[in-house]
Amino acid sequence: MVYSYNMEKPTKRGLGKGFEALLPSDFDKSILLSPQDRIEKIPINKLSPNPSQPRKHFEEAALSELADSIKQYGVLQPLLVTPQKNLYIIIAGERRWRASKKAGLEFVPAVVHQRKELEQIEIALIENVQRVDLTPLEQAISIEKLHEQFNFTYDDIAKRLGKASSTITNIVRLLKLPKKAKEALTTNKITEGHARQVLALINQPDKQEFLLNAILKNNWNVRQAEQFVTSLKTGIKEDKKASARTESETKETKNLSNKLGTKVTLKRMAHGGRLEITYKDDKDLARIISLFY
């Protein structure tokens, strides 16, 4: 037996709860095409995993924990399925389905879409990622929807978007930024380049916070942020010492600039660094070289 739920008003309380219990506030409504789409209560033995599902391993301990939660609270987020003959193929939610079986449920809530409808949603999400007005974080969220809701691997998404896999992975990693850094990136107070340097310190939240504050308060450019991260990775633990190494000019470079009559800057790297001497033209270059002989 299948119980249908309308977006506007539940037609029957098949699970003993109202629509909001089935469709919590954090449920992604983009998988529903219209207000007329419904959530159905589907027999668990009528569901089948997607054969093209890239995820093949499900940790038993985690499934048991989810099963215990489902026993207590039910399935809070519906599965996404498509009909095929006498079965429903799971597009998203196989882990919830497996845990529901362990919990002994006979029915689970699911959003049902035909293949054509799913293709329309996929196309809409892909087009959304390609919009030029999206912020990096908005792009990351759209990509993650394709990954989580349609079981696309990041390699699949990269091919569909015509981008390198590493580009897609790097965009999605922005979702791991601390909340304050996400807000700064969204409001254009920092660039994507800055954000990547903050991410490089993901296992050092105190250093992440220091770096973000330095970028915001001292107007550090991406190069300075990179040098700060490099300094920490070379073993410098003190924030002030690492900050000092972000400076491209030191007392020594200024003295050398005066002697050579041109700008001299310093760039530190993980091992050693680079001294950069600026010259105007070939004649100026010859002049500077002659000073070393």
Catalytic residues: 94
Contacts 24+ apart (CB under 8 A), 281-286: none
CA distances from 226 to 107, 134, 195, 200, 217 (A): 53, 25, 10, 9, 16
CA torsion 69-73-78-83 (nearest 10°) is 80
Q: In the numeric block, which tokens belong to residue 271?
A: 């091992």
CA distances from 89 to 16, 80, 155 (A): 25, 9, 23
Looking at the chain, the number of H-run helices and the number of E-run strands are: 14, 8
Q: In the numeric block, which tokens belong to residue 130?
A: 């390609």
Taking the chain, what is the end-to-end CA distance rounded to the nearest angstrom?
Answer: 93
C-alpha angle with apex 213: 144 to 218, nearest 5 degrees? 125
Q: In the numeric block, which tokens belong to residue 242?
A: 């690492």
| Closest-CA residue to 99 (of 73, 68, 63) | 63
Encode 102-128: b = buried (16+ Cβ within 10 Å), e = exposed. ebebebbbbbbbeeebbeebbeebbeb
